[in-house]
């Protein structure tokens, strides 16, 4: 920590330039994303991500080596031009990622590629602070919303409930539910991914192969958690009325979805440990010395 403070004091002009890029963009991200349900995880990810970065910084110090100036320029100049365009256009999604790219490029100019690679996990994890493009989120979640609702309707129909669906509407008894409302939890897919990766890092020391396996499990876990959410909403609507379901939707639906997802992640972690115990702890073997 003291070495970072000394570096900041020794480079006041550079620090001022980085802050001139970071502060307005992060304020925009906070106003546009962190104030919504989909981006509410941003401040938590920022705080934990900076903690992870500081934790890895001291471990990576032996690898610090300034790269050639042409390599820095090859990264920095295009990113700066694109950032300026995004800033003028007020496109928060691209502006945030380009700002982050400029910060990483600045780090790269002082510590080099080997150190950046050694700190890969916190640098990737901090990307979850920024909102993804809304068009991409909609493209991924909209088909899932329809498929999940139809699956829930079929299951409850086979269990004897008077239920049917038409387009974006679920009819159960004398009540109607909107698919978009019932499946809103899919918008928290980014939050679930961040939480799961943070859990994997703390528990398994950023084992890259195991982290990838758990990351691939995020989508089915999120789908399952939202399937449970839909079932609960439909059952509450049918048995307790629309007012009870709306109260659950606003007060407990998000908590229920996250608890379901986290318990499922813990269960997957435990089962994988039982079936494949060497996967969590197995390290990459160093290359054999030439004879």
Overall residue count recorded for the chain in this entry: 291
Residue 134's CB: how many other CB atoms inside 10 A? 12
Please state whether beta strands 169-172 and 175-178 pair in parallel, antiparallel, or not at all (unpaired).
antiparallel
Identify whether the C-beta of residue 22 lies closer than 8 Å to the C-beta of residue 96.
no
Number of C-beta neighbours around residue 8 at 10 A: 12
For residue 131 the two structure tokens come to 């909102």
Q: b vs e for 152-188, b when ≥16 Cβ sit within 10 Å of the residue's Cβ?
A: bbeebeeeebebebeebebebeeeebebeebbbbbbb
Query: Could you say which of 55, 61, 203, 229 is catalytic?
Result: 229
Sign of the C-alpha dihedral computed for residues 29, 35, 38 and 42 taken in this order? positive
183 is catalytic: yes
Q: Name the β-bridge partners of 166.
A: 169
**DSSP of 135-199:** HHHHHHHHHHHHHHHHHHHHHHHHTT--EEEETTEEEETTEEEEHHHHTGGGGGHHHHHHHHHHH
**H helix or E strand, kind and range, residue 52:** helix 42-60
Q: Tokens 């609702």 identify what position? A: 149
Q: Is 229 a known active-site residue?
A: yes
Q: Which residues are catalytic?
A: 183, 229
């Amino acid at each position: 920590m003291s070495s970072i403070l000394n570096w900041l004091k020794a480079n006041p002009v550079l620090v001022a330039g980085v802050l001139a890029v970071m502060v307005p963009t992060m304020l925009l991200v906070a106003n546009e994303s962190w104030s919504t349900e989909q981006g509410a995880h941003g401040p938590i990810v920022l705080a934990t991500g900076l903690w992870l970065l500081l934790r890895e910084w001291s471990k990576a110090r032996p690898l610090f080596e300034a790269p050639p100036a042409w390599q820095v320029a090859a990264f920095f100049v295009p990113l700066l031009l694109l950032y300026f365009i995004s800033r003028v256009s007020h496109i928060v999604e691209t502006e945030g990622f380009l700002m982050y790219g400029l910060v990483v490029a600045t780090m790269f100019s002082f510590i080099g590629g080997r150190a950046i690679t050694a700190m890969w996990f916190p640098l990737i994890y901090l990307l979850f602070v920024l909102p993804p493009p809304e068009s991409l989120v909609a493209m991924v979640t909209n088909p899932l919303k329809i498929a999940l609702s139809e699956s829930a309707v079929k299951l409850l129909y086979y269990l004897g409930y008077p239920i049917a669906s038409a387009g974006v509407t679920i009819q159960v008894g004398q009540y109607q539910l909107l698919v978009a409302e019932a499946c809103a939890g899919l918008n928290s897919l980014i939050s679930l991914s961040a939480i799961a990766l943070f859990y994997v890092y703390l528990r398994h020391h950023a084992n890259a192969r195991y982290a990838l396996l758990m990351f691939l499990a995020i989508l089915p876990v999120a789908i399952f958690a939202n399937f449970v959410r839909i079932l609960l909403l439909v059952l509450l609507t049918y048995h307790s009325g629309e007012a009870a379901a709306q109260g659950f939707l606003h007060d407990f639906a998000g908590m229920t979805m996250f608890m379901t997802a986290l318990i499922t992640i813990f269960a997957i972690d435990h089962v994988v440990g039982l079936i494949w115990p060497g996967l969590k702890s197995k390290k990459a073997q160093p290359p054999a010395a030439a004879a």
